[in-house]
Structure 1
């Protein structure tokens, strides 16, 4: 099976009914999103998509028979293939720089591969060389601009904050609902009794992804038994992931939000 590099990610070339398509797992991979993100978006917007035009549901037996893609021997559910149009409709809510870069590359390099024509004359060869040089200069400029943005954002991400402290610096986020949102996303769980005040703990899979960890703290009180509390500690990769979710409007937002994506830079001298 042939592959193509999209944003430094190797994607298999998958064709179905004479056109290139992508799976939901491929979208998560190339957009560097948590596993299952594209699937949730698909289920949420499925009624707006047209089967046979925007997507195809293909049974695993047909996929194995024609060896369209490699799937697990245990797979039983149908596989969803998205066409270029379905893919663009599904990811149009992703607004961060990575999403725009990946969309452009997928459309230009994957869905609409350009046929290379060998120059037949010296003049054609010189024009091709000039075009390639111009493209390289534009790519270098784009990479330089991207590097500047990354440097700025890296100054924004600081390890050691709580999720509440981090999202408080994001314009429009409803900070009071962030713990509930983390529970819905499968980052944390409530370890307290239903009648007690919530006590959030971090799932092991979240720690393995280096998004969030926890710090034990001993609570001592006169006349009371000493017990341990765990404080949530946001790691840099987790901060970047929350920022991506923020740009995708996947975090709880205030009703009074003005629609602007902005943040307050971390300042150790300023209490948040």
Structure 2
């Protein structure tokens, strides 16, 4: 049953009251408020009706359906033959308590918040902590997956798709789906090539010669990092020709470095250039 009452009780200001839960939150009836505040029957209900415009349906109060009233009557939460019934949430109780503003009311109010509604607060706090921890772990896993995909030579859509697939499998969270991108077109499964790889396919020419050709014809430019290490990066022309920067592990295992790699179609481009030079 979706709407249920729990038969545990709590003592408030020396009075035992039964805890009622409705759709995952603690609620009270007008009779319960009158009982713990030791007010004449009908006091809380009258206060509610006199200030009805201040109460928001669903947030402060819940008007029960006939089926819900019947079920709660059978459970002993409501008197039998109840025609209409309203449940009051924690927020609604705070509003009613304001109208019972004597010293005794404040004492009861404190106990109600600390003891009756305490379980609801603990559950909500636990949910927030759990979700926050899960979100951090998911973000960390996605970053690591992107790095590994880059080390494997993947780039662009391929890199993102592979990292997202790995993250979804490990954590259950799909970044692309959450962004409204249920499908992303993956480029053809093209292995990215180093200058050495390109040289082998061009007839065993050296990587130095390949880099010279790429630089001379405007596909890449050279530079040096903060430690004086030389590197190549693609020009706009080079990016259009399939040049991408990827993260790779240094040969001495001392960390990662950025390296320029190329889509396989660059081989045909350079072959045409070499053929033109030979002619």
TM-score between both structures, scaled by the size of structure 1: 0.39
**Which structure has more RCO (C-alpha within 8 Å, separation ≥ 6)?**
1
Q: Which has the higher helix share?
A: 2
Larger radius of gyration: 2
TM-score between both structures, scaled by the size of structure 2: 0.38
